[in-house]
């Protein structure tokens, strides 16, 4: 794996919302989430709620530490910052370019699908909730075109999907704790579209704001049910965390949080997706290695 940071834009064709929706099979992984959990959302620009769409929800990782700052996981790859003081992380913002999924080079899991999920959010690394938003790309055939959807998720509630995002789009995401709620926003800088939603912590859950993550995920039941789609390379930039004390800092803020690298591996220990080293604590990329 080339550990050199490479930030590059992708030039890819734009798929229509109709073609994206048509690519979804009946009974796709994850429950329908058109109406969403409690709270409301607002779309702007060309982005629209994808009513009736089923997306695979987050699967919490079971990371295994291999060095003082590196974990291995069967379904996550990226970086996670975990608080080390009494403060909490009240906000994370991050930019990424939607990666272009290559279905011809993707192996399909036992579900008949290969998936890639790119997101940023709070919690999930060591607890039972995640407040997050991002973009999914997935294949239902090794010959057909991939499908792309933006989404937000207040795990363990189901993800809520939106049309209007394409590979190569420049995306900004923000998860912000405001009072007792979380404001989740995704803005497609390429099209001007996006969504914003205000959500409470899911009923019966405890949203601790104890960690922040920037992640590529093999969601749902992960491999072998959903193999990791070949996403090539995804670039993450402009990552910034906001502590409850008012301090804004990058992923590297030793007085506030420890930041760990997460490498995705398959059942035999082979690397599936690996992040590059961090640049100034605010940028890195993740490269695909294998689907399962």
Question: Tens place of pLDDT for every residue, the chain, 292 residues?
Answer: 443 333 333 332 333 333 333 333 333 333 223 344 456 899 999 999 999 998 999 999 999 999 999 999 999 999 999 999 889 999 999 999 999 999 999 999 999 999 999 999 999 998 999 999 999 999 999 999 999 999 999 999 999 999 999 999 999 999 999 999 999 999 999 999 999 999 999 999 999 999 999 999 999 999 999 999 999 999 999 999 999 999 999 999 999 999 999 999 999 999 999 999 999 999 999 999 999 9
Which sign, positive or negative, has the C-alpha torsion 73, 291, 49, 156?
Answer: negative
Q: Which residues pair with 264 in a beta bridge?
A: 73, 273
Residues 6 or more apart whose Cβ sits within 8 Å of residue 254: none
Integer-rounded Cα Rg, in Å, for the chain is 17
Report how far residue 6's alpha carbon sits from residue 124's, in angstroms, rounded to the nearest whole number.
27
CATH of region 17-288, choose from 1.10.3470.10, 2.60.120.700, 3.50.50.60, 1.10.3720.10: 2.60.120.700
Supply the pTM of this predicted model. 0.87
Q: Give Cα separations from 171 to 129, 192, 197, 238 (angstroms).
A: 23, 10, 16, 11
pLDDT tens, residue by residue, 177-226: 999 999 999 999 999 999 999 999 999 999 999 999 999 999 999 999 99
What's 260's DSSP letter?
A: E
The CA distance from 124 to 25, in Å, is 28
Predicted local confidence at residue 85, as pLDDT: 83
């Amino acid at each position: 794996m080339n550990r050199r940071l490479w930030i590059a834009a992708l030039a890819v064709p734009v798929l229509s919302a109709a073609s994206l929706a048509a690519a979804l099979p009946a009974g796709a992984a994850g429950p329908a989430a058109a109406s969403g959990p409690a709270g409301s959302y607002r779309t702007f620009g060309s982005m629209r709620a994808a009513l009736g769409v089923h997306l695979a929800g987050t699967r919490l990782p079971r990371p295994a530490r291999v060095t003082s700052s590196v974990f291995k996981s069967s379904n996550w790859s990226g970086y996670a910052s975990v608080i080390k003081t009494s403060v909490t992380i009240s906000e994370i913002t991050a930019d990424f370019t939607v990666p272009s999924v290559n279905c011809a080079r993707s192996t399909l899991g036992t579900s008949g699908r290969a998936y890639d999920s790119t997101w940023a959010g709070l919690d999930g690394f060591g607890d039972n909730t995640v407040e997050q938003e991002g973009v999914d790309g997935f294949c239902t055939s090794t010959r057909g075109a991939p499908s792309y959807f933006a989404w937000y998720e207040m795990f363990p509630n189901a993800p809520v999907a939106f049309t209007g995002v394409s590979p190569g789009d420049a995306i900004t995401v923000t998860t912000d704790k405001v009072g007792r709620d979380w404001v989740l926003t995704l803005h497609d800088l390429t099209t001007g579209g996006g969504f914003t939603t205000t959500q409470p912590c899911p009923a019966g859950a405890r949203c601790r704001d104890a960690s922040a993550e920037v992640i590529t995920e093999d969601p749902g039941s992960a491999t072998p049910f959903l193999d990791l789609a070949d996403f090539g390379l995804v670039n993450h930039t402009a990552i910034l965390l906001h502590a409850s004390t008012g301090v804004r800092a990058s992923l590297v803020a030793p007085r506030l949080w420890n930041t760990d690298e997460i490498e995705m591996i398959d059942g035999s220990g082979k690397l599936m997706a690996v992040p590059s080293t961090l640049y100034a604590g605010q940028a890195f990329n993740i490269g695909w290695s294998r689907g399962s």
